[in-house]
Amino acid sequence: MMLNQTVIFFLLWVIIALVVEITLAGKITVSDIHEQKIEQRLNQLNKPAVKSIHSPDGDIIDCVWIYHQPAFDHPLLKNHTIQMRPKSDSTRDKTGGNKTDIIHQLWRTKGECPKNTIPIRRRTRDDLLRSDSIKTHGRKNPPTISPTTYHLPDDQTEVHEHASVYLDYGEYHGSKSRISIWRPDVNMTEFSLAQTWVVGGDWDTVLNTVESGWQILHSMYGDNNTRLFAFWTSDSYGDNSCYNLDCPGFVQVNKDIALGAALNTISTYNGNQYDFLLTIEKEQDTGLWWLKFDTHLVGYWPSFLVPKLADSARMIAWGGEIVYDASGQNEHTLTQMGSGHFAEEGFKKAAYINNIEYIDKSNHPIKPFPQNLEASVTRPECYNLKVGSSRRWGTYIFYGGPGRNPQCL
């Protein structure tokens, strides 16, 4: 009897060991598949580099041959000849501003890319692991257009709050403005930005946008540095949406500006103020939407990427935005917008966007009257906005705020 019990116990231990081994083997297999997907995605994102530059913030900037950039993975760009500049450049800086402040990106303090290459921020395994999924890495969390202008999807759990101004229901060929640079405090799972939106279509059918400005987005970059970004969507922030050079589409022509890289001149409260001129303009002859950072032509979005913008944009917007996940939250976020201070504090204390202009169908820059700008402020007790006009600054806004405070709970 004792022998039989011993045999039974032995057999049970063998069975348990086999089950554990099979279970562990299954986990290893799933992990291996995940690692393979990560490796495949990194190979798609990171092109062979002619030279690599180690930025002081930990980024690696790869200098990639211009015709090897991710844009050429797009089937419609396989035989594309890069246009190095607009055939008729009407984007000369006519807006004034402080020309003595030269804005540089942090990586440029350690070197520069050779001729006929472009700088691309190298993506890492950690970048992908911080994303919701490998598939959605590099997309924006929808929606980012003002909720007072467009309705939010019913299943939206992430709250987007704005302090912005816009022109709607027009025919616009672009935008120009000077955007002040700040580093607001941002919770790790949230983001804060200042940008320009160029919009075609609408939520009821399909929304197309091209966008640019600065942002702080830990889930994408792994830190709270203020970074230059570009973005586009052709399906209302769905699958056909992309940041920077994270998927085929945007064609970069500049060897000195890296999309997604940190800016190294940041405004300080009651101290030095830094800004940059941001231009997005449609070229009449080619339909390309050009992005310009100060005097640098960065690159362009081909018109086929955003068909609702093929003729013109129907809306232009300027301002700040934050996003946070409100599910299960009883208090407002502490994430700041702009400088983290309210608009009424004014120059050197609040963030600004000045020399606001739209570009008309003849590609002429036009200063809108302040009274013609529609304001979109989701919660003025948390983040607010002030519109004004002056001889030096043209049409401008101060915007931003601290988030949670005694009036914003």
Whether 283 is catalytic is: no
Structural contact between residues 245 and 252, judged by C-beta atoms closer than 8 angstroms:
yes
CA gap 228, 121 in Å, rounded? 12
Residue 134, classed as helix, strand or coil, is coil
For 147, 162, 288, 354, 381, the CA distances from 376, given in Å and listed in that order, are 8, 7, 29, 17, 13
CA gap 358, 3 in Å, rounded? 91
For 41, 247, 267, the CA distances from 45, given in Å and listed in that order, are 6, 7, 32
Structural contact between residues 224 and 186, judged by C-beta atoms closer than 8 angstroms:
yes
Place of tokens 């992005």: 291
Question: Catalytic pick from 211, 281, 283, 357?
Answer: 211
Estimate to the nearest angstrom the gap between the alpha carbon of 170 and the chain centroid: 25
Give the long-range contacts of residues 143-147, CB within 8 A, separation 24 or more: 143/203, 143/207, 143/236, 143/237, 144/197, 144/211, 144/237, 144/321, 144/323, 145/197, 145/199, 145/203, 145/207, 145/209, 145/315, 145/317, 146/317, 146/376, 146/378, 147/376, 147/378
Residue 103, number of CB atoms within 10 A of its CB:
17
Structural contact between residues 44 and 135, judged by C-beta atoms closer than 8 angstroms:
no
Question: What are the residues whose beta carbons fall under 8 Å from the beta carbon of 211, sequence distance 6 or more?
Answer: 144, 195, 196, 197, 198, 230, 231, 232
CA gap 35, 39 in Å, rounded? 6
Whether 211 is catalytic is: yes
**Which is it for the CA torsion 62, 63, 66, 67, positive or negative?**
negative
Question: Catalytic pick from 161, 190, 281, 321?
Answer: 321
CA gap 358, 205 in Å, rounded? 25
CA gap 89, 75 in Å, rounded? 28
Question: What are the residues whose beta carbons fall under 8 Å from the beta carbon of 79, sequence distance 6 or more?
Answer: none
CA gap 117, 256 in Å, rounded? 9
**Mind telling me the catalytic residues?**
211, 321
